[in-house]
Amino acid sequence: MTVSLDTIISLCKRRGFIFQSSEIYGGMAACYDYGPLGVELKRNVRDAWWRAMVQERDDVEGIECSILMHPDVWRTSGHVANFTDPLVDCKTCRARFRADHIDGYKAKYSVTGGSETTVSGDFNKGGEVTCDDGDFGPWEVEIGSEIPTKVIRPGFRLPDGRILDSVEKIQFLGSPRNCPTCGNKTLTEPRLFNLLFRTHVGPIEDAASTVFLRPETAQGMFVNFENVRGAMRRKLPFGIAQIGRSFRNEITTKAFVFRTLEFEQMEMEYFCKPGSDEEVYRHWVAERFNWYLRYGVKRENLRLRQHDADELAHYSRMCHDVEYNFPMGWGELEGIAHRGDYDLTAHMQATGKDLQYFDPETNSKYTPYVIEPAAGVDRTVMTFLIDEYHEEEVKGEKRVVLRLNPALAPIKVAVLPLLKKRPEIVEKCQALKDALKRRWRAVYDETASIGKLYRRQDEVGTPYCVTVDVDSLDDGKATVRDRDAMTQDRIEMDRIEEYLAERLVLSPPKVTTPAPL
């Protein structure tokens, strides 16, 4: 079925998954709080990723890095100079947009790499890029060639090997575009807006005390490459994985938790020998695509999309996105990027530290290539909520059910009394719930009729409900109800834990079908 985003947002607030941050003060745009069930679902998503990426493998180590890092880390990585989006404002309605999100937008970039080189041109719709260079003379690169030139970004490599290091100017070509909100042709010229959040360390707020909230978790793994390799006695290939919060001062946010100012990432940097990188890249594209299938996302709602040359980050040689068909259309769920040796080389040049790998088999040193799968926890939570939401008619009534994989379900089992006024039934329910809580997230509920209690648990994705009734007092059995099939089994209460253990599998079988590269 097709579900609207408003339906999911309503479910999240009503059932305690996700709330608007600071709601009683009018809310904080693009910031959200995870409620009692949302925090359980989010934790289960993180755990499922960690199991697949670290615990089930022999070639990946985990790490947890500080959010605040030395500011030179972000200068070296290119984020201080290059982590920018083109920003425009409407003079009439005061709305603000990313210029490249406006329909029909065309831009002109002037990019400088030192004092001699200037590159400019209209790169949005094709054509040629011309560079006037005193040493090499004019040169042209056609769109679609090996060098990505549709949009010039910092990090673009010139024919002589130099890399452009800063963006000097960006402007509209032709007449101003209409404002998407009010329709007036009163948009300002675009200006580049840096997405880094800045703060200060110490009592004096000046340039020397400026630090940044990290925009990604990746750099913590790069600067700790040699620490992890040495401490864990690792040989290539191996990976370093991390889950943690990142911060981006986005110009525009949208679609609930799809794009927020503060978000959580699940990233892994896999270090390999140059020459093996293509095979490693294909492996991780397939692994990550299949992970979503493994935990229940429908195949028809997923696709792989390779980045065009103009989309690639300045560090990236190649990138595929795992995309999901959200209510607002196809959008990125996870990116798998080939970062080459950009990051380790940049940090070596900046610090003078040797981050090359010594290969004892060949008695030689080289800088590893890196393949990076990077997913957002919040988008993944949103995906599972959308994909597993179902409405159906049962006995003339609408039934809403979240068919979450048991590994992800916030509550694994609910214990319910058929008659809450019978103390002996309530006592047995509480004892059973307490026993099950030692192993799973189990709850007790007596606040409605049994039919309404079932519907309530269906709506939050609880795989099993256990009902204790009058007969339970005589035969020692309880009724176990399956969420999806709505079948009921009569099980001895001292066997219910064993019964559930066979069904509440926290690590479902892997999916090994090739990803459609």
**245 and 361 within one domain:** yes
- 182-241 pLDDT, tens digit per residue, is 888 878 777 667 789 999 999 988 888 999 999 999 999 999 999 999 999 999 999 999
**Selection from 211, 187, 208, 207 nearest residue 199 by Cα:** 211
Q: How far is CA 154 from CA 112, 139, 163, 384, in A?
A: 9, 18, 8, 36
- 433-449 pLDDT, tens digit per residue, is 999 999 999 999 999 99
Handedness of CA 374, 103, 152, 109 (dihedral sign): negative
Q: Calculate what percentage of the chain has a pLDDT beyond 70.
A: 83
Nearest-angstrom CA–CA distance, 108 and 117: 16
**350 and 223 within one domain:** yes
Given this model, what pLDDT does residue 144 score?
30
Nearest-angstrom CA–CA distance, 210 and 202: 9
Cis amide bond preceding 237, omega within 30: yes
Split into its structural domains, the chain has a count of 2
Secondary structure class of 18 (helix, strand, coil): strand
Residue 209 lies in a domain: yes
Report yes or no: 239 and 268 within 8 Å, Cβ to Cβ: yes
- Which residues make Cβ contacts (< 8 Å) with residue 227, sequence separation at least 6? none
**76 and 14 within one domain:** yes
We report the CATH number of the domain holding residue 469 as: 3.40.50.800
Secondary structure class of 413 (helix, strand, coil): strand
Domain ends where: 387, 418, 452? Answer: 387
Domain ends where: 387, 410, 429? Answer: 387
Please determine, for residue 456, whether its predicted confidence score (pLDDT) is greater than 90: yes
Please determine, for residue 155, whether its predicted confidence score (pLDDT) is greater than 80: no
- Please give the residue range of the domain that contains residue 472: 396-501
Handedness of CA 227, 230, 232, 238 (dihedral sign): positive
Neighbours of 176 (CB within 10 A): 13
Neighbours of 285 (CB within 10 A): 25
23-27: long-range contacts, CB 8 A cutoff, minimum separation 24 = none
Residue 513 lies in a domain: no
Residue 150 lies in a domain: no
Residue 163 lies in a domain: no
**335 and 443 within one domain:** no
Nearest-angstrom CA–CA distance, 220 and 63: 9
Domain ends where: 364, 387, 410? Answer: 387
The residue among 332 and 158 whose pLDDT is bigger is: 332
- For strands 60-62 and 238-247, give the pairing: parallel
Radius of gyration of the chain (CA): 27
Nearest-angstrom CA–CA distance, 127 and 131: 14
We report the CATH number of the domain holding residue 271 as: 3.30.930.10
Mean pLDDT in residue range 298-304? 95
Q: Which two tokens stand for residue 287?
A: 């692994």
Q: How confident is the model at residue 103 (pLDDT cuts 50, 70, 90)?
A: low
Report yes or no: 397 and 459 within 8 Å, Cβ to Cβ: no
Nearest-angstrom CA–CA distance, 415 and 149: 61
**442 and 322 within one domain:** no
Q: How confident is the model at residue 105 (pLDDT cuts 50, 70, 90)?
A: low
Residue 491 lies in a domain: yes
Please determine, for residue 145, whether its predicted confidence score (pLDDT) is greater than 80: no
- Which residues make Cβ contacts (< 8 Å) with residue 149, sequence separation at least 6? 123, 129, 141, 142, 143, 156, 309, 310
